[in-house]
Structure 1
Amino acid sequence: MHIDIITVLPGLLEGPFSHSILKRAEEKGLAKVEIHDLRDYGIGKQKTVDGYAFGGGAGMVMMIEPIANCIDSLKKLRDYDEIIYMTPDGKTFDQSTANALSLKQNLIILCGHYKGVDERVRQKFITREISIGDFVLSGGELPAALVTDAIIRLLPGVLNDETSALTDSFQDGLLAPPVFTRPAEYAGLKVPEVLLSGHAAKIESWRFEQSVRRTHERRPDLMNGDLSKERGDNI
């Protein structure tokens, strides 16, 4: 997978892609993330990338020409499956979107900034608009890093245990169950006996029960019907 991120603040993205899973994915040759400074495509000697909004109002707007020049330059190198714009008014990012994007080969992510981009950028280039929640940040750089992390960790071979991603929260519409590790008892708090039993079927049933219970308590909006009745479990 190749992901190109277009930004006016490339420094904000240096850290997230030089550590942990993302770095491992690149070292294995499974994914490549490139950061492109939009100012390299700016207009005139000042490399201008923004201007005042027509009609007045506070804040600056990202100009269409630098963005178009950057995207056109990238398109000469490869064909893109999606050109994504990070924006507060996009569709809220979720696990199903991450799953779908992880099946793509080449992506461009455009980070919004200031008051956003000239609307013609969205009309001409953007194929998908993504938000990470109903709040506003200074720019789309951190959301772009978040989306990139969520996508790349799903690629086969990135995680040491590929089944780990399949048991994450939201993959089956439920939150993940509680997890425990050594010691089996700490300050009077004990690991549930079923997890120490070695009985795979009982452990799986317990985990499903806990996932349903936790989802019902914390995120009832995710519940799709009565899963306990479907499984016959005593929730």
Structure 2
Amino acid sequence: MTEDERVLRTELIEACRSMNRLGINKGTSGNISVRNGDGFLISPTGIPYDKLEPEHVVQMNWDATFAGDVLPSSEWRFHRDILQARPDLKSVVHTHSTFATSVSILEKDIPAVHYSIAAAGGSSIRCAPYELFGTQELADVVVKALEGRRACLMAHHGVIAAHVSIARALALAVTVEELAHQYLLCLPFGEPPVLNEEQIAVVTEKFKTYGQQAVPALEGLRQAS
């Protein structure tokens, strides 16, 4: 194991622990993966997060073989298939966060109730049809639900968020949970009004320069001397 890989494994473990600290996961129900070399790293099945060591993180190959005697998460199929289908994504986070899972039980998409939905890549967060956990059938419907998106729900199951890094995938999972909570709070009053595709497209473009940017990207701003 190289030092760079150990750092990546440690980052994955810390993200698993953060899911529980952030309240978007309980126990070991969630799982995380990240690209690594000619394959991907994934959290193991059934080991409490506070007991995880870098050696417990499983290196998997695209053909579903893996190194060592620690078993990977039972959800490895959709992690593999998402990363194979989407070269723009580096990490996948799956949780059973309460509000997002509640919307998934209703078999509803999350609509554009708030502009932050653009962080997931579009004007909705789709809900994939129910399929049994750990199956290829689930992986297939998830990949479809993620077309043009970075997050989706899985009916009667939970949420998937994927992004260019572990940190950003985890942050997106938190955003999805917030959106689900907002949507559920609105539902007792009927289906809420939503932002349209054009409005979300403007937000999506705005997000490209949101946060800290390199100095040349800050048109119209001058760096203090």
Task: Specify the structure having the higher radius of gyration (Cα).
Answer: 1
TM bucket, shorter chain: 0.3 to 0.5
